[in-house]
Amino acid sequence: MNPTPHILHPDFTLNGLQFEAVEELLDFAGELRREGDDHEIGIGKFIQKWFNDKSYITVKTSGATGKSKKIRLEKQWMVNSAIATGTFFKLGAKTSALLCLPPNFIAGKMMLVRAMVLGWELHVVAPEKDALTQYDNDYNFAAMVPYQVLHSIKALAKVKKLIIGGGPISAALEEKLQQVPTEAFATYGMTETSTHIAVRRVNGPAKSDLYAALPNVKFDLDHRGCLVIHAPEILSEPIVTNDLVQLESPSSFRWLGRYDNLINSGGIKLFPEKIEEKLSAFIKLPFIITSEKDPELGERVILIFESDRSGSVPNYSEAFASLDTYERPKRVYSISKFPYTETGKIKRADVLQVLQRYR
């Protein structure tokens, strides 16, 4: 039988502090709220909400694929998700773990839940880009966004197992990860699923382009070829996503791109995310691949990059040479500032609206 949300594992520690009872942890959470830095205040607030008498937590979605909204997650679902992660990665009591993500989003909240439920020794630090480099500690487990990983490459040997989420891993970053001993995993999930429900290994002998399901998660496809998630222990009903995938088995898939981003150019279906992955090795500025109307092709591929520099557009001929003919952008545009979500993801739909104002 799974633990309930109001049970605190006796082996749980927070920055070296151990708590004899929930009441002692709640006192500490109150201190964090009164005297802590911003991330510590967020941790204090979450701990207090976790142990209140409500059966759910209210969280915000990222807003990367639409307007950010508040949703309810049952605490028991979050407990079940924590147990699934511990089982998949073989992380039991006394696992040393690093929390360097903001606690106001689901990824940071779930690191706290895993630690409290599974009895981890959690080290909490400010969510800075190079947080890992600032401490001498070694960790069994950590979670980061790609930007943090990029700024922590030289220190990653401190971490045995690393999950990376919150955005795509560029080809250049994935290449760097081949040189580190850390077991690095890309994650697939969303706020609604209490973070990841599938992972893929991005380095080492087990490297794969397939996402493998966590325990008690199964996959299916809808009529569009989009992923349907069946996870009765963390969802009240299946979730139909807008993620186009190639289903390899009921528990594994290859991610292709977003249905709402799909480009049909001259009858050829193109996935912007796959084109971006190829170009990321050449283009260092923030950019996206999207489309605009074309009288002959229906839609034509365009590249939009973020740059506040005026003048000529950089020469991307070498980058475009890496693409198939139909994938090559027919137009290149620049805007001074992309619209971003609070978690640093580019709002694709909003970028096109901004572009229209520039033209």
- 267-324 pLDDT, tens digit per residue, is 899 999 999 988 888 888 889 999 999 988 999 999 998 886 654 556 678 889 889 9
DSSP 291: E
Which residues, 6+ apart, have CB-to-CB distance to 262 below 8 Å?
A: 244, 269, 270, 271, 272
- Do 106 and 46 meet the contact criterion of CB atoms below 8 Å apart? no
Q: CA-CA distances (angstroms) from residue 84 to 214, 215, 233? A: 6, 6, 10
Which domains can be identified in the chain, with CATH numbers?
A: 13-200 (3.40.50.12780), 262-358 (3.30.300.30)
Residues 181 and 18: their CA atoms lie apart, in Å, by: 31
Residues 355 and 333: their CA atoms lie apart, in Å, by: 8
Give, for all 359 residues of the chain, the pLDDT tens digit: 678 888 899 999 999 999 999 999 999 999 999 999 999 999 999 999 999 999 999 998 765 555 678 899 999 999 999 999 999 999 999 999 999 999 998 999 999 999 999 999 999 999 999 999 988 899 999 999 999 999 999 999 999 999 999 888 888 899 999 999 999 999 999 999 999 999 999 999 999 999 999 999 999 999 999 999 999 999 999 999 999 999 999 999 999 999 999 999 998 999 999 999 888 888 888 899 999 999 889 999 999 988 866 545 566 788 898 899 899 999 998 888 888 877 778 888 888 888 777 66
Per-residue pLDDT tens digits for 101-147: 999 989 999 999 999 999 999 999 999 999 999 888 999 999 999 99
Burial of 354 (C-beta count, 10 Å sphere; 0-12/13-18/19+): middle
Q: Which residues of 160-184 are buried (b: 16+ CB within 10 A; e: fewer)?
A: bbbbbbbbbbbeebbebbeebebbb
Chain center to CA of 166: 2
End-to-end CA distance of the chain: 60
pTM of the full structure? 0.88
Report the pLDDT value the prediction gives residue 64, as an integer from 0 to 100: 56
